[in-house]
Amino acid sequence: MRYLVFIFVALNLCLSPLSSASAATEKDAKYLVVASTTQIADFTRQIAGDRMRVHSILAPGADPHTYQPTPDDVQVVLDADLCLENGLHLEGKTGWEPWPGMPENR
């Protein structure tokens, strides 16, 4: 439960400045947030609302332990303004660690 509260607070702190920054940019421009699992994507949609585009790397019902990233998945992550993952190795191999072409400081 503590972990869930921590994630909620962290997402809120991370997304709050982005929502105020979006008002200063074009009205139709939305930040792209990429989530490693559908649960994190749903959680992010609840917080971000329609202010951001949220994309889940995993499809609903997909097994994160057998998932293999595709070139399109890598490109989506590289294009993202914010990448979210659960951590604690719960995503299997969907974590952001060394995908081909991914900058190390990302």
Supply the DSSP string of 38-103, one letter for each residue: HHHHHHHHHHHTTSEEEEESSPTT--TTT----HHHHHHHHH-SEEE---TTTTTT-SSTT-TT--
**Percentage of the chain lying above the pLDDT 70 cut:** 57
Compute the Cα dihedral for 85, 86, 87, 91 and give only its sign.
negative
What local confidence, expressed as pLDDT, does residue 86 receive? Answer: 80
pTM above 0.75, yes or no: no
Using CA atoms, how far apart are residues 99 and 46, in angstroms rounded to an integer? 28
CATH code of domain 2-84:
3.40.50.1980
**pLDDT tens column, 76-100:** 989 999 999 887 766 665 555 555 5
Question: What 3-state DSSP class applies to 44?
Answer: helix
**pLDDT tens column, 13-36:** 555 555 555 444 554 689 999 998
